[in-house]
Amino acid sequence: MKKFALFTLIATMFIGTSVACSKLDDDRPITIDKLPTAVKTFVDKHFVGLEISYAKLDRNFGDNEYEVVLSNGSKIDFSSNGEWKEVDCERGEVPASIIPEKIASYVAKSYPGTKVEKISRSKRYYEVELHNDLELTFDKEFNFLRVDD
């Protein structure tokens, strides 16, 4: 009986915590005018002629992040301060103006004729996905670290 009571208590705590955490993770569509100016400026500068089709606010544990989908299907994730975190141009190519020069040079030299379809960055590294499905990882100083296929 004690085991059943303990199990019930633990299950109740787990469910309660899950419900509470789900309230902290809130994704919802927003209008384009609600996007930070930095997000709109980035899109206008690097994706000339494309419109924002869809915008979403992701609330994760009190931190706001933004996702936009462009009229050509490209997706861009932004941090709360409007800096890009990931650019995914699955049906095309990431604009050269977004790719750091040292990474662009490495890709051009090591994989001539390939296109960068996706680039993401974090505090520690950059990841680049090429149209041939190779994934390249670079450190924050843009030094090549590894390749995954």
pLDDT in tens, 120-132: 999 999 999 999 9
User: Please, which pLDDT band fits residue 60 given cuts at 50, 70 and 90?
Assistant: confident
The count of domains in the chain is 2
In terms of residue numbers, what domain contains 28?
Answer: 1-83
Q: Are residues 4 and 67 in the same domain?
A: yes
What is the domain-level CATH number for residue 97?
3.40.1420.30
How many other CB atoms are found less than 10 A from the CB of residue 65?
Answer: 15
pTM above 0.75, yes or no: yes
Lowest-confidence range among 38-47, 49-58, 59-68, 69-78? 59-68
Kindly state whether residues 8 and 68 are assigned to the same domain: yes
pLDDT at residue 72 greater than cutoff 70: yes
What is the average pLDDT across 15-39?
Answer: 72
Order of strands, edge to edge, in the sheet holding 135-139?
Answer: 25-30, 52-60, 63-70, 75-78, 84-88, 116-121, 125-130, 135-139, 144-148
Tens of pLDDT, residue by residue over 86-145, are 999 988 999 999 999 999 999 999 999 999 999 999 999 999 999 999 999 999 999 999
- 75/44 same-domain check: yes
